Structure 1
Amino acid sequence: MTVVAHSTKPVPRAAEPAPLPQVNPAAVKPRDARELNKLFFDRLQILEEGTHEYQYARNTLIEMNLSLVQFAAKRFRNRSDGQVEDIVQVGTIGLIKAIDRFELSREVEFTSFAIPYIVGEIKRFFRDTTWAVHVPRRLQELRTTLAKTKEQLANELDREATVAELAVRLGISEREVIEGLIASNGYTAGSLETPPTGGEAGKGSHSYAEVIGNPDDGMELFENLHALAPLLRELDERERSIISMRFGEEMTQAQIGDRLGLSQMHISRILSRTLAKLRTGLCTES
């Protein structure tokens, strides 16, 4: 009888990845940041969210790429009007969003991926803080177009253009032109201390601030939930469950993955896709 000898040599375990280098983000030059970005993003994909290593990798990426925020902020220096610090802060929010959504598999430089997020966040800041009252985005954009068209027609006609002439030039209805002109009134606001008559406050007079009601903080939440409800009903059962666990139960992506038997990366992709779907629906509604 032939005896087959079995090797008792242990199977070698997969080598643990080398620890991430300890770097001083402020001292990293842009040309060196490119390679470090790849290293940290590669490790970020396999680290568990919420761990010390994960936070170190994510925070280092943020600090190492703050120069992108400074670069993007320079495009708005003529509009900042003393808001430089605010611009950098909102630009950093855009950078963080880009880091959380970036994947090496996209085969695109992180710089090219991040700049649109940063610039978009800064533009949103100007849009939301410049207008004195809430105006739908469609009318905000129409106001800008109307202003340019009014100036062009004034130069051509040597007078102010009529609503009908503006409508013809823009290829829209006169009603839409009127809506855009009315919306322009929301771009600036007068002081609430001004009396309704427009004169100076005197004995027996009341300012606008004294006669208007207080804002209801719950109204905006109600409006948002009202707009979101039909969009949530259009999601499939798994998407609704993940949204509920992430934002209702405040579970991490790793915890959601454990409950559903899926990887954290899979949960991240589903969550990003679902939020993008909801965001698109809300923007379409507005």
Structure 2
Amino acid sequence: MATMTAAGTDTETAILPEIADPSKVAPKDARELSRLFFDQLAVLEEGTPEYSRTRSTLIEMNMSLVRYAAGRFRSRGPEEMEDIVQVGMIGLIKAIDRFELSREVEFTSFAIPYIVGEIKRFFRDTSWAVHVPRRLQEARVQLARATEELRSRLGRTPTVKELSELMSLSEEEVVEARLASNGYTSASLDATISGSEDGEMAMADFIGTDDHALELVEDFHALAPMIAALDERDRQILHMRFVDELTQSQIGERLGVSQMHVSRLLSRTLSHLRDGMLTTR
């Protein structure tokens, strides 16, 4: 951090340190510097070079949070770790875009759940087999051998009681081992199933899915009366920002107020609506 640079809007100017390589800033320093950069981000207009530069610096400065969160998954191997870090970066970016200093919490405490959540979502979406404890993995092998031995000896499929006697396990443990066996292999949802009237069909065609749009309908019904209760100016600002998709600066020009004032009004309104939604759930 050698020189100082001025950045900001026409109404407010902040002095920020110019950082040669933000990715090499120590975590402790990044925590202090992030407050300054978030302060500046709040007064800059989205889409401007200054806004993009400040946001990029915040992302690079806090990459250590991603490495820290990804560290708990290091057992998955170096090849997968690279993917984990990339996915964690998505969580970091989401946290930066949604963080507000008015929350009065440390950014690190706010960002870690976003990063870990994104990584876990990656595992959920890309992992096929179900993880089971090692003792059940070993019991599955023992169960397969015992089943084959008894089937050859009896000429039929053995009962749970017969298996438990041969394996020296309780019947409950045999049943548990059988359930664990279901997680050993997985089938693709694209796998075809023959024998239907329409010929071959994909397995996914037979599986129902949650309609997430139904949750949105419930949210819209809960949100509508709260928006209707706002005063005319707040409703107008919400409409211009999220329906007309105007920037805060453009809204300020239309209303004859500063971009900072629009930012404060918008933050206050969204906080009010957010609190209202949380109390209705």
TM-score, length-scaled by structure 1: 0.57
Residue in 1 that maps onto 2:43: 46
Out of 114, 118, 124, the position equivalent to 1:117 is 114
The alpha-carbon distance between structure 1 residues 192 and 110, as it changes in their structure 2 partners (threshold 3 A), is closer
Residues 44 and 54, structure 1, Cα contact 8 Å, conserved in 2: yes
Give how far 1:278 is off.
7.4
Q: Separation in 1 of the partners of 2:203 and 2:251?
A: 41
Q: Separation in 1 of the partners of 2:264 and 2:184?
A: 43
Question: When the two structures are aligned, how many residues end up with a matched partner?
Answer: 222
Residue in 1 that maps onto 2:262: 263
Say which is worse superposed, 50-59 or 23-32, in terms of deviation. 23-32
For residue 211 of structure 2, give the secondary structure of its aligned residue in structure 1: helix
Where do 5+ consecutive residues of structure 2 fail to align?
1-9, 140-167, 229-234
For residue 76 of structure 2, give the secondary structure of its aligned residue in structure 1: coil
Out of 85, 91, 94, the position equivalent to 2:91 is 94
Residue in 2 that maps onto 1:212: 201
Residues 44 and 57, structure 1, Cα contact 8 Å, conserved in 2: yes
Q: Separation in 1 of the partners of 2:182 and 2:268?
A: 42
Residues 94 and 114, structure 2, Cα contact 8 Å, conserved in 1: yes
Q: Separation in 1 of the partners of 2:169 and 2:244?
A: 63
The alpha-carbon distance between structure 1 residues 265 and 94, as it changes in their structure 2 partners (threshold 3 A), is farther
For residue 223 of structure 1, give the secondary structure of its aligned residue in structure 2: coil
Residues 99 and 107, structure 2, Cα contact 8 Å, conserved in 1: yes
Residues 59 and 93, structure 2, Cα contact 8 Å, conserved in 1: yes
Mapped pair 1:37 → 2:26: no
Q: Separation in 2 of the partners of 1:271 and 1:246?
A: 12
Residue in 1 that maps onto 2:221: 233
Residues 228 and 278, structure 1, Cα contact 8 Å, conserved in 2: no
State the identity as a percent. Answer: 53
Where do 5+ consecutive residues of structure 1 fail to align?
1-13, 133-142, 167-180, 197-204
Q: Separation in 2 of the partners of 1:248 and 1:238?
A: 17
Amino acid aligned to 1:267: L
- What does residue range 19-38 of structure 1 map to in structure 2 within 5 Å? 19-23=15-19, 24-38=21-35
Amino acid aligned to 1:161: E
For residue 190 of structure 1, give the secondary structure of its aligned residue in structure 2: coil
Give how far 1:27 is off.
3.2
Give how far 1:42 is off.
1.4
Give how far 1:160 is off.
4.5
Mapped pair 1:158 → 2:172: no
RMSD: 4.7
Residue in 1 that maps onto 2:67: 70
Give how far 1:95 is off.
1.0
Higher strand share: 2
Residues 94 and 120, structure 1, Cα contact 8 Å, conserved in 2: yes
For residue 44 of structure 2, give the secondary structure of its aligned residue in structure 1: coil
Residues 30 and 62, structure 2, Cα contact 8 Å, conserved in 1: yes
